[in-house]
Amino acid sequence: MVMSNKTQRCPLCGAKGAVHEARRTEYTYKEEKFYINQPALWCDRCDDAVITPADNKASLKDMATARAVIDKVLTPDEVRKARKKLGWTQEQAGEYFGGGPSAFGKYERGEIQIPKTVSVLLYTLSTNKALLDSIEKSLNSIIKEHDVFLDEHGEYFINTKKAG
Ligand SMILES: [Zn+2]
């Protein structure tokens, strides 16, 4: 992020005193008010700010965190913490929960919000080791039951008309 406290000309009103800095700024999401330190080019004369794409990028994680709090899902930092507690890489977590190898990187940088079902499951698993073990056992049982599809060559031969 390029951040200079030197004053610039305001592109809105032309005044010379515009300043690029982070200021406490009010936002509304789903009728809930929240504040973040929003970097922008602030002009006191027109009482307005110009927010560049770089400013938006700098405040992305704070914005995502605010929306997560309001939506009652894990915040980007909480997603990272829960995933690391389970000892999984971002790629592994994406494989277990779906979404592909880059999904968790996006959740943790605040680029996209974690789906609620994934959030609930991730939090539950990260706080309940016994449940994680139980799920792993269940998955192994399912794999075992699928042995019914193995033919005499040890290869999967799917014929649901034949199966009882
Ligand atoms: Zn201005």
Query: How is the chain split into domains, by residue range?
Result: 7-58, 76-149
Instruction: Compute, in angstroms, the gap from residue 51 CA to the centroid of ligand 1.
Output: 13
State pTM to two decimals: 0.81
Q: Provide the β-strand partners of residue 36.
A: 25
Residue 128 CA to ligand 1 center (angstroms) comes to 54
Cα-to-centroid distance, 83 and ligand 1 (Å): 45
Our measurement of the distance from residue 121's CA atom to the centroid of its chain's CA atoms, rounded to an integer in Å, reads: 14
Q: Is domain 76-149 given the CATH code 1.25.40.10 in the classification?
A: no
Give 84-121 pLDDT, tens digit per residue: 999 999 999 999 999 999 999 999 999 999 999 999 99
CATH number at 7-58: 3.10.20.860
Pick left, alpha or beta for residue 143 (phi over 0 → left; psi -120 to 50 → alpha; otherwise beta).
alpha
Residue-wise pLDDT for 34-93, tens only, equals 999 999 999 999 999 999 999 999 999 999 999 999 999 999 999 999 999 999 999 999
In the structure, ligand 1 is a single-atom ion and the residues with CB under 5 Å from it are: 10, 12-13, 15, 43, 45-46
